[in-house]
Amino acid sequence: MHPAASTVTTAGSGLDRIAAVFAAARASGHRVLAPFVTAGDPDVATSVAVIEAADRAGASLCELGVPYSDPIADGPVIQASYTRALGAGLTLEDVFVVAREAASRVRMPLLAMASYAIIFRRGVVRFVTDARAAGLAGLVVPDLPLEEADELDAACRDAGLALVRLVTPTTPAARAEAIARASTGFLYCVSVAGVTGARSELPDGLAERVRWLATKTTVPILVGFGIAAPDQVRAVGAVADGAIVGSALVRRVADAIGQPREALLDSVGRFVGDLAAATR
């Protein structure tokens, strides 16, 4: 297991558990690796096993994608995973089952990435209460504007959960500064304009943007969207506290569907292990 994750336990609030991950990473001179896994893709049990495989391979945090029929920022790979999960009958209750089962088996904190429409439909306080009961450490809500986030922010703070905010390349400076100040747990720096998806190289200006954001917030910064290979994780780690890897991992799960589960988990473990090595 990655040393940065090895000191993390499920004790304490979600915010405390996330802070412990970054503190351990800083102490060891490492960066944080946060893979993204779609809940229920291709089924509940396999998605739990994928999270376990990522944890064993050295991941520090995990984003759990909550499938939604009309995703806002997700590219074709993650959209396809959502379609598979929903087509198999996945419900929000099943998502909480995935979270609960995984949280009980791994040391890394889990955060749900969910559309605000899902949270609003369930009821903000009820969703947050259920998220905490399922062992989640925080929420990432990419389609929730800063001006409309007060209710969810208050509920998350009351529950000790992180509410991670996103800053994109097109976010105006004053607004980016306000978002950075409001984010808890960490700040999600979107590397490119557009939707998620693996890319061959990181965009120009990313390092400067991360350095600027670091002067506007006291929480760590993770970079996501387009991070697909160890060399990109290493490059991101030169300026940020770590990297989020989504589509590249989800694609490996998709490519292995139909194979024995052991083969799928081996593919995931080897890929995450290579990415984790680049954080050291």
Identified catalytic residue from 43, 63, 94, 101: 63
Shortest CA distance to 250 belongs to which of 81, 67, 45, 108? 81
Instruction: Note whether residue 109 is domain-resident.
Output: yes
For position 2, what pLDDT does the model report?
38
- Assess if residue 11 is contained within a domain: yes
* 151 falls within a domain: yes
Query: Is 151 among the residues known to form the active site?
Result: no
What one-character DSSP code corresponds to residue 189?
E
232 contact partners, CB below 8 Å, separation of at least 6: 201, 202, 226, 243
Nearest by Cα to 20 from 12, 144, 258, 130:
12
What does residue 21 show for φ and ψ, rounded to 5 degrees? -60, -50
The pLDDT assigned to 19 comes to 98
> Residue 149 is part of a domain; what is its CATH number?
3.20.20.70
DSSP alpha helix (H) spans, 58-133? 76-87, 92-103, 116-122, 124-133
Tokens 């800083």 locate to: 26
Which segments in the chain show pLDDT lower than 70?
Answer: 1-11, 71-74, 192-203
Whether residue 215 lies inside any domain: the answer is: no
- Answer whether residue 52 is part of any domain: yes
Contact 186, 146 (CB under 8 A): no
Model confidence pLDDT, tens digit, residues 86-121 = 999 999 999 999 999 999 999 999 999 999 999 999
Q: How many helices (H) and strands (E) does the chain have?
A: 13, 8
Q: Which member of 41, 43, 74, 94 is catalytic?
A: 74
Residue 171 lies in a domain: no
Number of structural domains the chain divides into: 1
Residue 76: the pLDDT is: 84
Q: Does residue 199 belong to any structural domain of this protein?
A: no
pTM of the predicted structure, to 2 decimals: 0.90
Structure token pair of residue 120: 């609003």
Domain holding 55, by residue range, is 3-163+237-277
What's the burial of 122, exposed, middle or buried (CB within 10 Å: 0-12/13-18/19+)? middle
Residue-wise pLDDT for 126-142, tens only, equals 999 999 999 999 999 99
74 is catalytic: yes
**Is position 224 within any domain?**
no
The string over 171-188, giving b where at least 16 C-beta atoms fall within 10 Å of a residue's C-beta and e elsewhere, is beeeebbbbbebbbbbbb
* Per-residue pLDDT, 202: 63
- Provide φ and ψ at 115, rounded to 5°: -65, 145
| Measured CA distances, 94 to 29, 50, 91, 168, 251 (Å) | 37, 16, 5, 31, 22
